[in-house]
Amino acid sequence: MNSAHSAPNPPAVTRVSDTEWQAVDDGLAVGRADASQRPDGRLFVSIDAWQDTVFDRLATALLADLPAPLHTVADEGDHDTLAAWRRAGFTAARRERAYLVPTDPQATGLGTALPPEGVTILPAGLAEEGPLRALERVIHDEVEAGAGWPAIPAQVLPRPAGTLVVDPTKYAVACQGDRYVGLIRVTPPRRPRIGLIAVRAELHRRGIARALLAHALDALHRGGTATAWAEVTETDTAATALLEGVGARRAGSTLELVHR
């Protein structure tokens, strides 16, 4: 957004659908805004506008038309956009750190990270959808009973109907006998993203998460990928320690802002 210039006259803002607004100035579209409800119930908004006046008019329309609280995300290095949201009354709710994670076992030190005795890793694409869905439900319930999903950057979320949508091709799974006890989700293709590492609560601190990460990174390395992308809420000290312990480097951060 360019804060050095502003529209000479306030643009007209029209709500063109339940989730979209448009700003028009002298017959030309000069900005738009969108709203989307996450499966966890939070309502997120975004604004695409180059001029401060346009941004402010769209923000005013969003606040008038939608129920609080409203959420948005912005790159922490984008000072103009952060300033615009703050003008509208949004305040920082949490910070999420982005990491580039090396995949080479020589760089990560994960070459010898094996799962504990009695636990095996099932490669991506081999998990059965039913047990995988059941594991996601268990993990979802454990998170709900603890920190809650707003504190988790990479989410396993129920759809509005209460079901979970999973794609076994994206998940490697830790198995204890015939029971699924942990998972890692990696979404390809051009910049693989580690979307989630999770282990059943009663099996925490046994090296299962580290073994899952080692497996996923090694698979990426063998496929010719040098780095993967991951995001971690800054208060998640366990995930931060896991990533930084394998040589991941900070690559920026985003802020989630909220208007209550």
- Residue 139, pLDDT > 90, answer no
**CA 144 – CA 160 distance, rounded (Å):** 16
Contact in structure between 168 and 131 (CB atoms under 8 Å): no
Distances (CA, A) of 82 to 47, 52, 150, 256: 12, 12, 20, 10
- Residue 156, pLDDT > 50, answer no
**Amino acid 195: pLDDT:** 82
Q: pLDDT > 90: what percent of the chain?
A: 68
Same fold, 12-89 and 98-253: yes
**Amino acid 237: pLDDT:** 86
Contact in structure between 50 and 1 (CB atoms under 8 Å): yes
Please give the residue that has the higher pLDDT: either 175 or 195.
Answer: 175
**Amino acid 147: pLDDT:** 55
**Amino acid 9: pLDDT:** 73
The mean-pLDDT minimum among 116-130, 176-190, 208-222 falls in: 176-190
Main-chain dihedrals φ then ψ at residue 231, nearest 5 degrees:
-125, 140
**CA 53 – CA 193 distance, rounded (Å):** 36
Condensed to tens digits (0 to 9), the pLDDT of residues 40-51 reads 788 999 999 999
**Amino acid 41: pLDDT:** 81
**What pTM, to 2 d.p., does this model score?**
0.75
Q: Please return the burial class of 31, using the count of CB atoms within 10 Å of its CB with bins 0-12, 13-18 and 19+.
A: buried
What is the topology classification, in CATH, of domain 98-253?
A: Aminopeptidase (3.40.630)
H or E segment to which residue 105 belongs: helix 105-108
Q: Provide the 3-class DSSP secondary structure of residue 216.
A: helix
**Amino acid 255: pLDDT:** 94
Condensed to tens digits (0 to 9), the pLDDT of residues 197-223 reads 889 999 999 999 999 999 999 999 999
**Amino acid 113: pLDDT:** 84
- Residue 60, pLDDT > 70, answer yes
pLDDT band (50, 70, 90) for residue 98: very high
**Amino acid 154: pLDDT:** 36
- Residue 164, pLDDT > 60, answer no
Please give the residue that has the higher pLDDT: either 128 or 136.
Answer: 128
Query: Nearest-CA neighbor of 259 among 5, 8, 47?
Result: 47
Instruction: Taking residues 63-88, report their average pLDDT.
Output: 96
Domain 12-89 - what CATH class? alpha beta
Instruction: Taking residues 53-81, report their average pLDDT.
Output: 96
Domain ranges of the chain: 12-89, 98-253
- Residue 151, pLDDT > 70, answer no
Q: What is the Cα Rg of the chain in Å? A: 21
